[in-house]
């Protein structure tokens, strides 16, 4: 028999249905509560609120489980390619060989961006943060493809927007870096796979051919898979809310990129390296910085530590830690900043403050280390996260539309002034 929740308000008891997910997750359905009782619920930061049902990603923060469409993240990170995982997230099943070939081929054929995009790029100042550039250019794609503006068009039109977005974000990302340095851009090349092509656009110079290192390409493939979806996080919820107004895919994803930018979300990977640099410049006294992180009067937090849902360990961090060790060893990297990272990790993992609060290194602690080791400039770290998260945003946007989700529009509890009359300026 299905469970029922009971709530007593103003002396009257009301029954609320309980929804049970396929992994036995339970939620009290309050969608009709206000209509029945006049009450809303309040939950700042949505810490205890399910905004949707979803069949894309299962995450259990207590047990450190992450699965895309039922497949454990550990298996996908070890065996799959990023585009295979993108297909899985967006279309629900692992692709057959012919399906994957066709998907990869379509994406490869759409990697070029309109030459007029360079005019937009030129308008940004040198040193412009690539997240600002990427968000702007992704939204502007909708103006180059006006037919994409109705998200309810036929399946072919939606699929074409999906392919264009997946194909063009790496080009836009690499070009935003090149433009910010005032270097000529490198065009995409069809001989490369998705990851190799991005690396080539990032690192090739007109004066010097770039050779893709397979260790670097493998590490990047793993990183992108680990970031590909994470259920209803800040940026994904943003994509869903923006998309729920029937805004087009490019506009919705552009909003997701902006939400990802902040240091409490995707921007943490950049913040981690900046923090490590600051500690090194300050003389490398790690105990001092750990004490600062624990001091409630001090706003400093140990970036790359803690997570809203993982309170034991982040399964992605376990995989990525090994990848980070492998990459540093294979590339023979010796970097004092990365030594500081190792020491902080060691000390914090044993420190009672961090242990008691379930604060462990999250995926961004290690992703920053790998990006630095493979030569990605610090300002590009969060853009790398956006490239990885793109399939998840697309899958969630598509699911939201197919489920005919209502427009996202929360309520509030007003705490401002009661009604008062306007007073003429001379009488105030």
Q: What residues line the site for ligand ACO (CB under 6 A)?
A: 264-266, 268, 293, 301-308, 357, 359, 362-364
- When the beta carbons of 66 and 293 are compared against ligand ACO, the nearer one is 293
Query: Which residue is catalytic, options 177, 229, 230, 364?
Result: 364
Strand order in the sheet with 12-20: 4-9, 12-20, 26-28
Question: C-beta of 21: minimal distance to ligand ACO in Å?
Answer: 21
- When the beta carbons of 16 and 319 are compared against ligand ACO, the nearer one is 319
d(CA 229, CA 126): 32
d(CA 35, CA 127): 52
Query: Which residue is catalytic, options 129, 227, 230, 307?
Result: 307
Contact in structure between 140 and 120 (CB atoms under 8 Å): yes
Q: Are strands 12-20 and 4-9 parallel, antiparallel or unpaired?
A: antiparallel
- When the beta carbons of 151 and 391 are compared against ligand ACO, the nearer one is 391
Question: C-beta of 224: minimal distance to ligand ACO in Å?
Answer: 14
What one-character-per-residue DSSP string does 116-178 give? THHHHHHHSPTT--HHHHHHHHHHHHHHH-GGGG-TTS-HHHHHHHHHHHHHHHHHHHHHHHH
Burial profile 375-398: b = 16 or more Cβ within 10 angstroms, e = fewer:
ebebbbbbbbbbbbbbbbbbbbbb
**Has 364 been annotated as catalytic?**
yes
- When the beta carbons of 142 and 237 are compared against ligand ACO, the nearer one is 237
Question: C-beta of 386: minimal distance to ligand ACO in Å?
Answer: 12
**Has 154 been annotated as catalytic?**
no
Strand order in the sheet with 65-68: 57-60, 65-68, 71-72
68: β partners: 57, 71
Contact in structure between 201 and 183 (CB atoms under 8 Å): no
Question: C-beta of 362: minimal distance to ligand ACO in Å?
Answer: 4
- When the beta carbons of 201 and 290 are compared against ligand ACO, the nearer one is 290
Question: C-beta of 223: minimal distance to ligand ACO in Å?
Answer: 12
Residue closest to ligand ACO, measured at CB: 306
Catalytically active residues are 307, 364
């Amino acid at each position: 028999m299905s469970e029922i929740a009971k709530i007593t308000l103003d002396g009257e008891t009301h029954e609320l249905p309980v929804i049970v997910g396929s992994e036995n997750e339970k939620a009290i359905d309050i969608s009709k509560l206000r209509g029945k009782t006049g009450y809303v619920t309040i939950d700042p930061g949505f810490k205890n609120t399910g905004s949707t049902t979803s069949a894309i990603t299962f995450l259990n923060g207590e047990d450190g489980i992450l699965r895309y469409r039922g497949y454990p993240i550990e298996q996908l990170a070890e065996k799959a390619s990023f585009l295979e995982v993108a297909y899985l997230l967006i279309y629900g099943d692992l692709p057959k060989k012919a399906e994957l070939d066709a998907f990869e081929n379509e994406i490869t054929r759409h990697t070029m961006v309109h030459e007029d995009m360079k005019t937009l790029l030129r308008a940004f100042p040198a040193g412009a943060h690539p997240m600002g550039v990427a968000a702007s250019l992704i939204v502007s794609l909708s103006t180059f493809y006006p037919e994409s503006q109705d998200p309810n068009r036929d399946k072919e039109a939606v699929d074409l927007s999906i392919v264009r977005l997946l194909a063009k974000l790496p080009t836009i990302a690499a070009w935003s870096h090149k433009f910010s340095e005032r270097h000529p851009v490198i065009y995409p090349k069809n001989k490369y796979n998705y990851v190799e092509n991005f690396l080539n656009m990032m690192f090739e110079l007109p004066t010097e051919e770039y050779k893709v290192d397979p260790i670097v390409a493998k590490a990047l493939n793993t990183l992108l898979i680990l970031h590909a979806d994470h259920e209803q996080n800040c940026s994904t919820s943003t994509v869903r809310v923006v998309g729920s107004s029937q805004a087009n895919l490019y506009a919705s994803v552009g909003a997701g990129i902006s939400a990802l930018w902040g240091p409490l979300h995707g921007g943490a990977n950049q913040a981690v390296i900046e923090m490590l640099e600051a500690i090194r410049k300050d003389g490398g006294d790690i105990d001092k910085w750990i004490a600062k992180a624990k001091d409630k009067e001090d706003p400093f937090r140990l970036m790359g530590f803690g997570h809203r849902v993982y309170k034991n360990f982040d399964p992605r961090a376990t995989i990525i830690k090994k990848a980070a060790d492998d990459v540093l060893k294979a590339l023979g990297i010796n970097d004092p900043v990365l030594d500081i990272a190792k020491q902080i990790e060691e000390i914090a993992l044993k420190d009672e403050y961090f242990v008691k609060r379930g604060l462990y290194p999250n995926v961004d602690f290690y992703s920053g280390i790998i990006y630095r080791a493979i030569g990605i400039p610090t300002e590009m770290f969060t853009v790398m996260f956006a490239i990885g998260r793109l399939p998840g945003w697309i899958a969630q946007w598509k699911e939201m539309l197919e489920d005919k989700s209502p427009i996202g529009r929360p309520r509030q509890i007003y705490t401002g002034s009661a009604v008062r009359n306007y007073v003429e300026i001379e009488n105030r």
